[in-house]
Structure formats: structure tokens, C-alpha cells
Amino acid sequence: QVQLVESGGGLVQAGGSLSLSCTASERTYRMGWFRQVSGKEREFVAAMSRGGYRTKYSDSVNGRFTISRDNADTTVTLQMNSLKPEDTAVYYCAAGPTVVGGLDREELYAYWGQGTQVTASS
């Protein structure tokens, strides 16, 4: 019953920045981002718990990406800086209702956005 709508994405030069945004129809415990390259497994990028008390980033983006949620806890933003060609992928917003289980496991996310393409060219 939770719908997620993503916005943002696009094409930038390597070293540039992009911002992704995702709005949920109702508040959930965790909201985060996964990405997937064609022919490869979907991988965790970043996530934040309700209220912003817990945050986690994958090692590959830590220090370059920043995740945040709005005051209503329904919109999650991913600010991506210093983009690398390896960051090129379809980025999916995801949300999960359960409190336990951490932030980086795909199976904990029951709701998914439509995906948006991010391309960093070299």
C-alpha cells in the first residue's frame, strides 16, 4: 500500500554531483537506496531509519554520498558527490516497515520506487 515516487537522476561528468529524491505515500521505518547495473545484482547504497537516528552507507559510497529525510519522514534524499563511472546504475528507492533487522538488507524493504538512471561519464 506504500507507493514510492522517485525524482532526479540524469547524466553528469565524473566528479560531478546529482541529487535523488523519493517520496513515500506514508511514513515507514526505513528508507534507502539500492542500485543495479544490467546483468548484475542489486546492491545497497544508503539508508536511514525513521527520525534519522540510524544511517548506513555502503563502503563504495561512504564519504561521497549523503542521505537525509525530511521532517515528515516521508521523503528521502540522496546527495551524490564526486560521482564515478562505477556509480552508473539504475537507482531504486526502497522503504521497509519493520523496526528490527538493520538497514542494508534488501529483504527488509517491502516497497520499491520505479527506478531512475544515474550516469557518470568519464
pLDDT in tens, the chain (122 residues): 899 999 999 999 999 999 999 999 999 999 999 999 999 999 999 999 999 999 999 999 999 999 999 989 999 999 999 999 999 999 999 999 998 999 999 999 999 999 999 999 99
Best CA proximity match to 89, nearest among 2, 18, 4:
18
pLDDT for the residue numbered 1 = 81
Phi, psi for residue 111 in degrees, rounded to 5: -125, 140
pLDDT for the residue numbered 61 = 98
